Structure 1
Amino acid sequence: MLDQVKRVLLVLSGKGGVGKSTVSTQLALTLKERGYKVGLLDIDLCGPSVPYILNLEGHDVHQSAEGWVPVYMDSEQRLGVLSIGFLLTSRNDSVVLRGPKKTSIIKQFLEDVYWQELDFLVIDTPPGTSDEHITVMENLRQVPQCSAILVTTPQEVAIEDVRKEITFCRKTGIPIMGLIENMSGYECPNCSECTNIFSTGGGQSLAEYAKIPFLGSVPIDPRVGRLAGQGLCAVKELPDSKTSKVFGELVTLLGENSNGVN
């Protein structure tokens, strides 16, 4: 099923709570707004938040002769989404799985989904470097144009965990496109002034130390936070925000240089 996917983007972080799902959804929405055909695969099996963020809760995944059909956000089918959240009857349902079952489900997500032709497949991953990540790596080993976007927050505890994720990518041979520092200060929705409520610059320092590209700093912006649960794109709704600038530049980079990975 991945033969018709031109490029795969893995959104990774060794740390939980850094905003991988927000980065994944806004990246997918921005790519869609720029005219690309996009798939968004949520493999965070125990914490599937993508259906909620994109306002797709209550939709069902259907089986066809070609495989599972993703849930589409638009009639033109330019953004398809798949998550285990679509297979649950309630957002309160817990997913209790041992390792082999996790591996089996992720293999199905990678091999049995009828994405059709895609310009980009964005994969939202859980924190860590365990079963889910190893399964993804094994199945994507032969896929050309697969690269990772790492997400961190400025705090030292997050930086240390993301440092381990960089090591994981290099050991498994995943090219790293670059690193985003999320929650980098608080952007006032009234005056646009940014206040560093945490430490600052940790993501850029890590990128320089690891010799990987730094893709930008995304602040905490209440206006962007309110888009969660509505399936709205920051670049379209808040074109002057710093968040929109970072994602707009990232998508431009992806469009200009499909081989631009380290």
Structure 2
Amino acid sequence: MSSEKTTAIVLRVVDFSETSVVTTLFTEHFGKVSALAKGARRPKGPFENAIDLLAVARIVFIRKSSDALDLLTEAKLERRFRSAERSLERLYAGFYLAELLTEMTDTGDPHPELFHASNRVLAELDAGSPVAPLVAGIELFALRDLGHLPLLTECAICGNELVKAARYPFALVAGGVLCPRCRPGQRHVVSVRAEVIEAMHGLSQAAPETWSSIALEPKLAGEMRAVTQHYLAHHLGHRCKMHRWLSGRPA
């Protein structure tokens, strides 16, 4: 067993006993970890209220060599997620980010760039930056960083550069746009406006620090989210639960 120090985003907290919780953390250096935090539910516990959903904290944990839970020994709060004080939309965006990181990442697989991008999105949500480009940006960044970004400038099957058109077929199974020659016979294909594909490509290549300054017209942002959500649902095997709340459809 070894003791490790890192920075973490709290993704999930589940009661374990009258005094302890099990927390899922997305860490800068060790990827996703699940750890037992003994005494976290005590009024004057050892973690200084650092184990709150979407809080960012400096932690110390003991890594277990077996399938047992890691043991969280220290947590010092760096930043609390306060977007609930601003709007439900920002709160839901934060919850959606936690769901994405939980569902898309594997335990013990570090992705430091994704950690920093996610940390920035949480800070930008708290600061009042526009929600739509932040959500779209982190979706595409996660897909790219984890090796699942769809092809948006060339055919996903033959690799040929796309010929300019008003709309493109987007294949969920093939993983991107298709040329007219490869389209026949493909399943799970949706037709997408060229402007949407271009916006997705541009945002997927943009640095996280620029996302909040990117203006997305509401209709364009909605179509981007629909395409990305269909693609994510195909990749994950299910639709993200928080998507309907972000779309304004809680039912």
Q: What is the TM-score when the length of structure 2 is the normalising length?
A: 0.27
Structure ID, larger Rg = 2
Give the TM-score taking structure 1 as reference length: 0.26
| Greater relative contact order (CA < 8 Å, ≥ 6 in sequence) | 1
